A and B are shown apart, each in its own frame.
Chain A
Amino acid sequence: MPDYKIAKTLDYKGLKCPMPIVKISQEMPKLSLGDVVEVQTTDPGSLSDFPAWAKTTGQQVLETKQEPGLITIYVKKTK
């Protein structure tokens, strides 16, 4: 278990490009600064897309976990 508090878990399983980053970008305004969300996705593209999205939009990817058939990404709202 990660040692940060998770504000929300977002289920993006089954979604394909570009939906995971579209969904996370739509989620951002609903969060408070410093919130950490846990994103569950099955799209392997998300492994590189989330860090790229975070870098461009000023958010932060804290951790990426890969298990068979599931990718979990922890995103912190920093902006």
Chain B
Amino acid sequence: MALDVEKEIAGLKAQAEARPGAKRKLSMVVFSGDLDKHIASMIIATGAAAMGMEVVVFYTFWGTAALRDPSKRVGGKNLVEKMFGMMLPRGRDMTKLSKMNMAGAGTAMIKAVMKKKNVASLGEMFDLAGQLGVKIIICEMSMDLMGFKFEEMIDYPGLSIGGVATFLADAGESAVQLFI
């Protein structure tokens, strides 16, 4: 009899764990390419990791440009891809504010204020995210559209490429999902 109860409990436990959205996990889409939105997404990602959550950040569309490494150059691009490469920010430090950019003056000002007030820079937050085990996935199709190659992306622990199914599989089991 006692054995049956234990079995029952184990069965219920397994069911509860398999329930969609039951995992203490954050799945986030970073679609935007603005500096302010990148800062917000990184604060949430590192904060969630500190709360003991598993964190996956999926970079798509304008968001992917922030993952470019300005020191890496790759060849083999056609004219359109080269144009995209030139017009989009070459890495997170080249992203701009979504408002009050004022030809770069606003962006420079917010960076100076952040430094003065001891708010971690975007670069520092990426380093921290890597240490905390935040997983970063780059959308394959966005990279293809904009002509970005995986070889020109930042060195980040476990950086990988994925598609919509990858994100949905992660999102489905996550208690928190965000689109930024």
Binding site for B on A (CB under 8 A): 14-19, 21-22, 24-26, 52-53, 56-57
Contact = CB atoms under 8 A, between A and B. Distances in A.
B118 A18 contact: no
Contacts of B43: 17-18
Nearest to A58: B52
A23 to B, nearest CB: 8
Contacts of A21: 47, 50-51
A56 B51 contact: yes
B118 A22 contact: no
A16 B120 contact: yes
Given A17-B47, A53-B50, 14 more contacts: A15-B118, A16-B117, A16-B118, A17-B43, A18-B43, A19-B120, A21-B50, A21-B51, A22-B46, A22-B49, A22-B132, A25-B49, A56-B24, A57-B52
A77 to B, nearest CB: 13
23 contacts: A16-B117, A16-B118, A16-B119, A18-B43, A18-B46, A18-B50, A21-B47, A21-B50, A22-B50, A22-B128, A22-B132, A24-B50, A25-B49, A25-B50, A25-B51, A25-B52, A26-B50, A52-B51, A53-B51, A56-B51, A56-B52, A57-B51, A57-B52
Contacts of B120: 16, 19
Interface string B26-63: 00000000000000000100110111100000000000
Nearest to A56: B51
Contacts of B47: 17-18, 21-22
A78 B35 CA distance: 38
B90 to A, nearest CB: 27
Contacts of A52: 51
